[in-house]
Structure 1
Amino acid sequence: MSLAPRAVLVHRRTEYEELLARHGTHGQAAFFLSSRGRSIDEVVRRHDRNQQALREVAAAVPLTWRSSRVERADLDRFLFAPEDVVVVVGQDGLVANTAKYLGGQPVVGIDTDPGRNPGVLVRHRSTDTAALLRAATAGGGRTDELTMVEAVADDTQRLRALNEIYLGAPGHQTARYRLGSDGEAGEDAGAGAGAGEGAGESQASSGVLVGTGTGATGWLRSLWLDRGSPGGLPGPGDPRLLWFVREAWPSPTTGTTRVAGELGRGQELRLTVESDRIVVFGDGMEADALELTWGQSVRVGIAGTSLHLVT
């Protein structure tokens, strides 16, 4: 007998909840904000809208389903199951924070603050939840398949991300490593492109960023604009990644010829650590990072699993 679906509601603490945790009372929080030229009234209104959306989403879960809740800070300790339908209640970034822990489960994005959030990933209102849950479990339900990026270390550590993966020194200090690629199809932005399996370049930089089309509206786009890259940015569903080296430093032992490129399916960027420690994290979740030491290597490419966003 198959298990009934489980609706997993993902949320995060509101600004009002964080203020209360820090200052203890509503009055103290109000005083703190007023001293900085802000009113607590709008903060409370956004909190109330968030709580109302959570109540409406919870009420829309069918009685025959199981349900659970998880806060953003606990995602790395929560065990998602194959039969889950994940309902992200909040902002676009919360969908990205959740995606790295999933393995193909359908995701419903609920916007708790329409007009304030871009609504790229949280596309729906809480009143649509019941219909979206039915669509998520129906055979003909529509989903957008969003490309994800994955890093796999030589010790089998693995990390996925929806927007981008960053590889560099803790605290964004100078990182030292050897950068190579496997099966490159295109040319790098600098010289030295098209190198094969045995190639690579020792570099000193403030890190390497590898991003998807979903991440092309944020950090990846800023680097793309800064470099004046001739190629277009990928779309969210395109099987294509872009990578950039941040602030590569030339020296007698380090080069700057491999500073940007593109990865398709089956192609990987390879980084071998040449310093004491390098961290690898996705979508800004630096607290949940892979840690690599001297001589270890990591390969980054298109993940075998995409994000299934219910439309």
Structure 2
Amino acid sequence: MANPRLVIVHRRTELQDLLDRHATRGQAEFFLRTRGRSIQDVQERHDRLAAALATVRAAIPADWRHAEVERADLPRFLLTPQDIMAVVGQDGLVANLAKYLDGQPVIGIDPEPGANPGVLVRHTPKAAARLLQEASQKGLERLGCQALTTVTARLDDGQELSGLNEVFIGHASHQSARYQLTAPDGRAERQSSSGLIVSTGTGATGWCASIALERGGRAALPAPTDPRLAWFVREAWPSPTTGVSLTEGSLEPDHMLRITVASDRLVVFGDGMEDDRLTASWGQEITVALGTRPLRLVV
């Protein structure tokens, strides 16, 4: 069996983007100053990420292979079953990675402890370095994992897309979307709304929680490892041809939500990544259910 490969995932810093856009540090500093910001804060965040990456790189066992990939290049990066993912950044970066994984363990590393919620990036750089050394000396089983539920949307032409937090189905510009929704119990309704989301327990603290709170918090939201999803229709519009009776519910392991498109075009994207999306046209059916590939988060 081949030795593991540690894949370090990170995203470009704001400082790098500013230097690309403004060419020089002086021009970047002037740009920030006109907006009441200091380049020192940007530099400090850049330095903290660089230090975290250096700590992780230095801890890679000598007999392991390794690679690095930026967030923007994830769709083109070839993963292998032997990979171990070390995500250095914010919680959202783990969610961005999840759709590309098939069982590879993920170590979430927070370069700025205290600045991020730390729901998915639970380890400091030094703690992650210790985990890697223990895994090398005592075996990969030392990487105890928690299986986080995912959600998958499928089009009737075979395309599919998964999310760790949620998937959104609606108009590309969040305007009125028309479709027929069929609930797991067989009830169906034509609707016009600003779209719908289907959320996991991991996503139940974000977008899903906001919608549930607006509705009085009556919905029982799942926990991150629960094999259950919550779904909400946003701003359903009553009219002679569209209803508002099916606007929320849950999906158990054997349940499926069906959406039949009645607009020229609807989009499906996961975890807020609108550029990485599926497009469904008039008459196509979209089904949403529990994902078959949970995220294995190292705890």
- Compute the TM-score of the two structures, normalised by the length of structure 1: 0.92
State the AA in 1 paired with 2:48.
Answer: R
Distance in 1 between residues matched to 2:47 and 2:234, nearest whole Å? 41
Aligned to 2:181: 179
Aligned to 2:42: 43
Offset of residue 232 of structure 1: 2.5
1:149–1:301 Cα contact (<8 Å) kept? yes
Aligned to 1:219: 207
Aligned to 1:228: 216
How does 1:228-247 map onto structure 2 within 5 Å?
A: 228-247=216-235
Aligned to 1:120: 119
What is the DSSP-based 3-state SS (H/G/I as helix, E as strand, rest coil) of the residue aligned with 1:300? strand
Aligned to 2:279: 291
Offset of residue 23 of structure 1: 1.3
Aligned to 1:307: 295
Distance in 1 between residues matched to 2:81 and 2:279, nearest whole Å? 28
How does 1:246-265 map onto structure 2 within 5 Å?
A: 246-265=234-253
1:135–1:310 Cα contact (<8 Å) kept? no
Structure 1's 140 and 56: CA in aligned 2 closer, same or farther, altered over 3 A? closer
2:167–2:198 Cα contact (<8 Å) kept? yes
Moved more, 131-140 or 243-252: 131-140
Q: Deviations over 1:3-24 (max 9, x none)?
A: 1111111000111111111111
Aligned to 1:191: none
Offset of residue 153 of structure 1: 1.1
State the AA in 2 paired with 1:71.
Answer: E
Unaligned runs of 5+ in 1: 183-194
Unaligned runs of 5+ in 2: none
Aligned to 2:164: 162
Moved more, 137-146 or 287-296: 137-146
State the AA in 1 paired with 2:107.
Answer: V
Q: Deviations over 1:138-171 (max 9, x none)?
A: 2353111111111111111111110010000111
Percent identity, please. Answer: 56
Distance in 2 between residues matched to 1:42 and 1:140, nearest whole Å? 37
State the AA in 2 paired with 1:164.
Answer: E
Distance in 2 between residues matched to 1:231 and 1:47, nearest whole Å? 40
State the AA in 2 paired with 1:167.
Answer: I
State the AA in 2 paired with 1:54.
Answer: L
Offset of residue 59 of structure 1: 1.5
How does 1:106-117 map onto structure 2 within 5 Å?
A: 106-117=105-116
Offset of residue 135 of structure 1: 4.1
- Compute the TM-score of the two structures, normalised by the length of structure 2: 0.96
What is the DSSP-based 3-state SS (H/G/I as helix, E as strand, rest coil) of the residue aligned with 2:183? strand
Structure 1's 128 and 229: CA in aligned 2 closer, same or farther, altered over 3 A? closer
Aligned to 2:14: 15
2:95 matches 1:96: yes
Q: Deviations over 1:25-75 (max 9, x none)?
A: 111111111111111101101101101111111111111111111111111
Distance in 1 between residues matched to 2:121 and 2:129, nearest whole Å? 15
Offset of residue 84 of structure 1: 0.4
State the AA in 1 paired with 2:232.
Answer: F
Root mean square deviation of aligned Cα: 1.3
Aligned to 1:148: 150
How does 1:181-196 map onto structure 2 within 5 Å?
A: 181-182=183-184, 195-196=185-186
Offset of residue 226 of structure 1: 0.6
What is the DSSP-based 3-state SS (H/G/I as helix, E as strand, rest coil) of the residue aligned with 2:178? strand
Distance in 1 between residues matched to 2:85 and 2:95, nearest whole Å? 12
Aligned residues: 296
